[in-house]
Amino acid sequence: MGGFALEPDQEKWCERLRALAADRLRPLAEAGDPGRVNRPLLAELGELGLLEKVFDAGALELCLLRESLAYGCTEAETALALQGLGAHPVLRAGTPAQRERWLPAVRAGRAVAAFALSEPGAGSDAAALALRAEPEGGGWRLHGEKRWISNAPEADFYTVFARTGEGPGSRGVTAFLVPADRPGLSGEPLEMLSPHPIGALAFEGVPVGPGDLLGEPGRGFRVAMDTLNLFRPSVGAFAVGMARAALDATLAHTARREAFGGVLGDLQAVAHRVADMATRTEAARLLVYAAAGAYDGGSDGVPRRAAMAKLLATETAQYVVDQAVQLHGAVALRRGHLLEHLYREVRAPRIYEGASEVQRTVIAGELYRTGGVG
């Protein structure tokens, strides 16, 4: 990618992805049950080789993948991203045995992964985790709860972050790979505004041992942040894909909707609003690409850039979708309309993987630590 534009082969790949999302993935998504893991959809993502990309691609390619799928089928995008989020710690910090056991099945869409970080009292403040890992023999037993966990309680395994107490705050957090069939582990689905599966997990003395560690004891927060630094820009890409879909729908609608002796697009108030929507979307898109490029290039300031990309893109998508609904009028609020769907989907990314307020805290902290943008 050049400084401000994709290469022709990248553009063509994105076009193919948008077509796949509309033609092959959206029908499977529509046949699924909202709030439930859609295993046929995951299997198709595996068959198409798209889940492989989540683990083999760089950050920019991951962003292009998520943006393109989001444009044509948000459910497919989310299913793909959750596989990556749940299993990326296994790829980066897992043992050879863990990788061999789980990653081929995740890549094929046969096993469902989940990233279990948030708790009832520790969402945005991930260092405040309360799930306890109490030593027992040569291992631990997990006691506590996780909540707002995507793919729970239907996942086949969970990347779980628990407090082992090697130090205060984030220094006492350890990451574990916990298969769903471990005794003492139970869960329930939560009914949420967004249509993807989210649930709560209860850990009642769940046994884990050294073979379940992801990385070293007390170093789990680094595992979590390594995952989030990769996926935060691509959350922004998901948001950009939704914004672009809403923008294109608005352009088509305002170009043909007759009103006041012409079409809506002839009205300066409407045309200027569409121009603002397009400008903000393009700015967010470029910032996402820049953050992904920084990650791929090993540049300084990756946490700041990732936080900026997620912040701007998710806030922009909320604005663009809201304006699109306003310009469409009541038809956009009808169940099943693209914008009604996007309106429900677009709200959650401003909260998960670090709320907008957390992103601002990360950005400001990095700026003050380094003395500027560099």
Active site residues: 353
Q: Give the contacts of 138 (CB within 8 A, at least 6 positions apart).
A: 209, 210
Helix and strand numbers (H, E) in the chain are 12, 9
- Reference 44, options 29, 33, 56; nearest CA is 29
11, 16, 22, 27 alpha-carbon torsion, rounded to 10°? -150
Q: Answer left, alpha or beta for residue 197, where phi above 0 means left and psi between -120 and 50 means alpha.
A: beta
Residue that has been written with the tokens 């990248």 in this structure: 10
- Reference 343, options 354, 332, 357, 356; nearest CA is 332
Mind spelling out the 3-state secondary structure of 183-208?
Answer: CCEEEEECCCCCCCCEEEEEEEEEEE
Distance CA 15, CA 71 (A): 10
* 147: phi then psi, degrees, rounded to nearest 5: -145, 155
Residue that has been written with the tokens 């045309």 in this structure: 271
Residue that has been written with the tokens 């603002």 in this structure: 276
DSSP secondary structure letter of residue 140? E
Q: How far is CA 73 from CA 32, 33, 327, in A?
A: 13, 15, 22
Terminal CA-CA length for the chain: 22
Q: Cα angle at 269 between 266 and 273, to 5 degrees?
A: 105
